[in-house]
Amino acid sequence: MSLPIASRRLVLAAMPALGLASPTGAQSPTSQEAAIRQLLSQTFARPEAALSLDPVIVEGDAAVVGWIQGDMAGRALLRLTGGQWAIIACAGAAFKAVGTLKRLGVPGDQAARLTARLAVAEAILDAKRVARLDSFGGIMEMGGAPHPPAHRP
């Protein structure tokens, strides 16, 4: 389901106030968003399987990132610990729920802000993309340790 034009304009107007980058890329990503993109790209991107990351939502020391790679898609929950981002878990639609984020250690207020900002960011995405992000089944916990770059042949 796509938003009507008037609703999209309202969402776009609210993005700067919520700290979200413009979907056209007019604003440069924050250093935290750049660090997250770099971690996920170094860990998972491969020449034969490009990695698409959008949206990247950072709220303090936690982040939720939508990702698509080949036939797989979902969202990753990351936590900033000791100055480094670490992947806590991957899921699909489950990361749209405050309760899921709380169960994984994100404090309630922060989890509520993350899910609200995620909803705003995804409201302007193509409905097919959001459906793909939702498609990851279950929750795969990753342990939360910083991940080394992916092995490449």
Per-residue pLDDT at 37 exceeds 70: yes
Classify each residue of 2-32 as buried b or exposed e, where b means 16 or more C-beta atoms within 10 Å of its C-beta: eeeeeeeeebbeebeeeebbeeeeeeeeeeb
| Within-domain flag for 38 | no
State how far the Cα of 56 lies from the Cα of 84, in Å rounded to an integer.
16
Count up the domains in the chain and report the number: 1
| Within-domain flag for 46 | no
Lowest mean pLDDT among 22-26, 85-89, 118-122, 134-138: 22-26
| Within-domain flag for 51 | no
| Within-domain flag for 48 | no
Can you give the residue range of the structural domain that contains 83?
5-21+56-141
Residue 49 pairs with which residues in a beta bridge? 46
Nearest of 106, 85, 82 to residue 94 by alpha carbon: 106
| Within-domain flag for 119 | yes
Write down the pLDDT at residue 2.
44
The DSSP annotation for 1-15 comes to -PPPHHHHHHHHHHT
| Within-domain flag for 10 | yes
State how far the Cα of 85 lies from the Cα of 39, in Å rounded to an integer.
8
For residue range 61-78, list pLDDT tens digits in order: 999 999 999 999 999 999
| Within-domain flag for 151 | no
Model confidence, pTM: 0.76
